[in-house]
A = this chain, B = another copy of it.
Amino acid sequence: MLPGVGVFGTGSTARVLVPLLKAEGFEVHAVWGKSEEEAGCLAKELGIPFHTSRSDDVLLHQDVDLVCVYIPPSMTRQIAVKALGIGKNVLCEKAATAVDSFKMVTAARYYPQLLSIMGNTLRFLPAFAAMRQLLVERYVGEMQVCDVRVYGPSLLDQAYGWTCEELMGGGGLHTVGSSVIDLLSYLTGERAHRVHGLLRTFVQQNGLIRGIRRVTSDDFCFFQMLMGGTGSRSGGVCCTVTLNFNMPGSFVHEVMVVGSTGRLVARGTELYGQRNGSKSEELLLGDSGWVGPEVKEMPLPHLQGLSSMVKALRESFQAHEERRSWARGPVAMAPTFEDGLYVQTVVEAVKRSSCSGEWECVEIMSQEPDPNHNLCEALQRNKN
């Protein structure tokens, strides 16, 4: 039986998600917005019976068994952790910091019977699922290099907000790079152990953001990841990622994996391959012909990925009689909160590298940093 859904957020993703959920048979009972007006507006538009600006009203809503959290990164952790504590299943967008991600992991570990997955949806895109399968079957032989590029128009909101602020989780690396980092660990089956990166904010002010306000989040980012946990620099897959969001009017989303005997390239939602020795590229998976809504802010690979994920969620819940029970199989490929922590750790390492100019190690947090650490240090200094 499908669970009732409560949605946090009134942005473009939430706007797309609700119709997708309904199309699969989910009932959306409640929506939360940061103001009553925004929530009411979306509820009216999408026919959601209940709206509110108080998070508890959704979390404690008796018909809500699955909470979908599509709000700015700085607020996700609080909602996700609370939802799990109340015993609800959670689908959640990324957090703003590794510490927040770690708190989410702790909560997810504490409630293993509850569903807790990250909102990165690229893994679910059929082209990437097929790519993963072909990589496992050694279509490219020994993997050598992954090369990803995403080019598009500015990610900034119309008005000044979190998208402009690096510390609030804005910027190309955090917003789009996250999903690429997650995807590459899924495709290669390995995690980055060392990263190097360069971030830039080319457009610091525009027609709407001016005066004393200045954009601090990156609109250009280039990073490299050495995969595999060996610690040796010579082995393992080498990933390069180029993100450029100063390209209005264009959208490029290309993921290439080159190996010893061939290569695979996903361009947008299509998958191509070429084995060494063959004369030309073959189309391995064509575009399925997207019939859902077109969303200006959301590129097709993400949109179709989201749609596939909602389908997987439906299969997962359908397998059981009880509203809150779910089967692991259909969502086994979904990114867990642990994956979310890994991604956030890589993002922070890339930012560190951009400051230091050096290769930075990716070290996953294994215990929460003591919030009194700085205080203790200060006391220590006073004592001496």
A47 to chain B, nearest CB (A): 35
Chain B residues within 8 Å of A198, by CB: 196, 224, 238
Which single member of B144, B203, B281 contacts A220 (CB below 8 Å)? B144
Residue in B203, B260, B280 whose CB lies within 8 Å of A249: B280
Copies per assembly:
2
A144-164 contacts to B, CB under 8 A, are 144-145, 147, 149
Chain A interface bracket (under 10, 10 to 19, 20 to 34, 35 or more): 35 or more
Question: A200 on the interface (CB 8 Å rule)?
Answer: yes
CA distance A222 to B238 in the complex (A): 10
Q: Is the CB of B144 within 8 A of A238?
A: no
Which B residue sits closest to A280, measured CB to CB? B249
- In angstroms, Cα B145 to Cα A203, docked, is 12
In the complex, the chain B residue whose C-beta lies closest to that of A276 is: B248
Interface centre among A147, A224, A238, A249 (most CB of B within 10 A): A249
Question: Which residue of chain B has its CB nearest to the CB of A278?
Answer: B249
- Of B200, B249, B260, B278, the residue contacting A238 (CB under 8 A) is B200
Q: Which residues of B contact A357 (CB under 8 A)?
A: 196, 233, 358-359
**Interface presence of A94 (CB below 8 A):** no
Stretch in contact with the other chain, from A7-15, A115-123, A239-247: A239-247
A248 near B220 (CB under 8 angstroms)? no
A263 adjacent to chain B (CB < 8 Å): yes
A202 within 8 A of B: yes
- Sorted from nearest, which 7 A-B pairs have the closest CB atoms? A357-B359, A248-B276, A144-B202, A222-B240, A246-B258, A145-B220, A358-B358
| 18 chain-A/chain-B pairs, Cβ below 8 angstroms | A144-B220, A145-B202, A145-B244, A147-B149, A147-B242, A196-B196, A198-B224, A222-B238, A233-B357, A246-B258, A247-B263, A248-B276, A248-B277, A249-B274, A249-B277, A249-B279, A250-B274, A357-B358
